[in-house]
Amino acid sequence: MLGAMTLPVHPTQTRLMRRRTPPTLPITPRSIALFRLGEACNNHCPMCSNSGRPEAWLTPEAELLQRVDWLAGQGMKRVVVTGGEPTSHPAFWQVIQRLGERGLVWDVNSNGRTFAQVGFADRAVDEGLQRAIISLHSHVPEVSQEISGVTAKGHREILCGIDALVAAGVPVMLNLVLTKLNHADLLGYLAWTTARWGHEIELKICFPTTVGRGGGWDGIDLRYSDVAAEVVAFVTACDAINLTWHLESFPPCAIADPRARNMSRSGFGETHYLDDLTGDRLYPIAHIEAELGCFAETCRSCPAFATCPGVSEAYARRFGTAELVPFR
């Protein structure tokens, strides 16, 4: 049941509410679990949303294999493999092989660099890869390098990794996290990426979360109103060329577009999150997102409320909720 509860507030603050969703969700043949291999990574993105907990750094191989068996035993048929950077985990292929042995297919959320290695993308396809979300935060090398914490070589690897995935026939969605460095040139990004990879790729623009270890980076100190005009121009330009776009963590009213449906956290319709520390608990993604998002009281009357992600509590406490204006 969808419901709402009011959050306690300081008398001078805006009254907030949170959506209530069930804490459990049955597994069906259509379920998809977010499966993290650990937070270790070969990039150094300053805004990284990872938790930074030392115990989450690199899950050992034996534990990961056991988790695959456990997921299969629960009836899970598909996972999104992520991290950290999943492809840099030393047991990456062993985990992938075990997924295949247990009858699971997989998608990947990756920074893309490892796919630049000769044969890596083809092998991934042979071993069950269905789709890829690759983080490319800018087409401008210097900007990409700063946002992804990589050298010029690292940026080239991201591009070549995407080339290899596209050449291997993998449906690719590019993910751009909005920062102060890249939000002004979304149209340039659209033009550049479609010139290189055609109109088959999909593009996702993500409003940054400040919850992770990179939350204090000044580059993501943004408000919705700082980026709304550019995001509207971007989706309009995508529509004009029939390119599929997605938004993540955008209340539709923040860009005055009721079609701006929120994607789940990594964007492939994951239904469940496998606890990355215990490995033996599955939480509904919708429940996690409901716990993280909050709303203004006036949102109750909005026709988009049922699917809106709201804003983070930290955001609402800092900036208030004046940007949340219900559709009529």
Ligand X SMILES: C[S@@+](CC[C@H](N)C(=O)[O-])C[C@H]1O[C@@H](n2cnc3c(N)ncnc32)[C@H](O)[C@@H]1O
Rounded CA gap, 235 and 129, in Å? Answer: 28
Rounded CA gap, 319 and 64, in Å? Answer: 41
Q: Which does 266 bind (CB under 5 to 8 A by kind): ligand SF4, ligand X, none?
A: ligand X
Count of residues of this chain found to bind ligand SF4 when the rule CB under 6 A is applied: 11
Under 8 Å between Cβ of 306 and 258 = no
Rounded CA gap, 274 and 278, in Å? Answer: 9
- Would you count residue 41 as binding ligand SF4 (CB under 6 A)? yes
Rounded CA gap, 50 and 86, in Å? Answer: 13
Q: How far is the CB of 11 from ligand X (least distance, A)?
A: 31
Under 8 Å between Cβ of 106 and 86 = no
Rounded CA gap, 281 and 74, in Å? Answer: 10
Q: Which does 206 bind (CB under 5 to 8 A by kind): ligand SF4, ligand X, none?
A: ligand X
Q: Which does 82 bind (CB under 5 to 8 A by kind): ligand SF4, ligand X, none?
A: ligand X
**Amino acid in position 283:** Y
Q: Could you say which DSSP state residue 112 is in?
A: S
Q: Could you say which DSSP state residue 160 is in?
A: H
Q: How far is the CB of 242 from ligand SF4 (least distance, A)?
A: 30
- Would you count residue 208 as binding ligand X (CB under 6 A)? yes
Stretch that binds ligand X, among 8-16, 48-56, 115-123, 304-312 (CB under 6 A): 48-56
Q: How far is the CB of 219 from ligand SF4 (least distance, A)?
A: 13
- Would you count residue 203 as binding ligand X (CB under 6 A)? no
Nearer residue to ligand SF4 within complex by CB, 41 or 124: 41
242 conformational bin, left if phi > 0, alpha if psi -120 to 50, beta if neither: left
- Would you count residue 47 as binding ligand X (CB under 6 A)? yes
Nearer residue to ligand X within complex by CB, 182 or 271: 182
Q: How far is the CB of 50 from ligand X (least distance, A)?
A: 5
- Would you count residue 144 as binding ligand SF4 (CB under 6 A)? no
**Contacting ligand X within 238-277 (CB under 6 A):** 266
- Would you count residue 41 as binding ligand X (CB under 6 A)? yes
- Would you count residue 45 as binding ligand SF4 (CB under 6 A)? yes
Tokens 């804490």 sit on residue: 23
Rounded CA gap, 81 and 163, in Å? Answer: 20
Q: Which does 208 bind (CB under 5 to 8 A by kind): ligand X, ligand SF4, none?
A: ligand X
Q: How far is the CB of 183 from ligand SF4 (least distance, A)?
A: 17
Which residues lie closer than 8 Å to 234 by C-beta, 6 or more apart? 186, 187, 190, 205, 245
For residue 75, the tally of other CB atoms under 10 A from its CB is 11
* Per-residue contact string for residues 93-112; x = within reach of ligand SF4 by CB under 6 A: ------------------x-
Count of residues of this chain found to bind ligand X when the rule CB under 6 A is applied: 24
Rounded CA gap, 313 and 310, in Å? Answer: 9
Q: Which pairing describes strands 33-36 and 78-82: parallel, antiparallel, or unpaired? A: parallel
Q: Summarize as ranges the residues that interact with ligand X (CB under 6 A).
A: 41, 45, 47-50, 82-85, 109-111, 133, 135, 175, 177, 206, 208-209, 212, 214, 220, 266
Q: Summarize as ranges the residues that interact with ligand SF4 (CB under 6 A).
A: 41, 43-45, 48, 50, 83-85, 111, 135
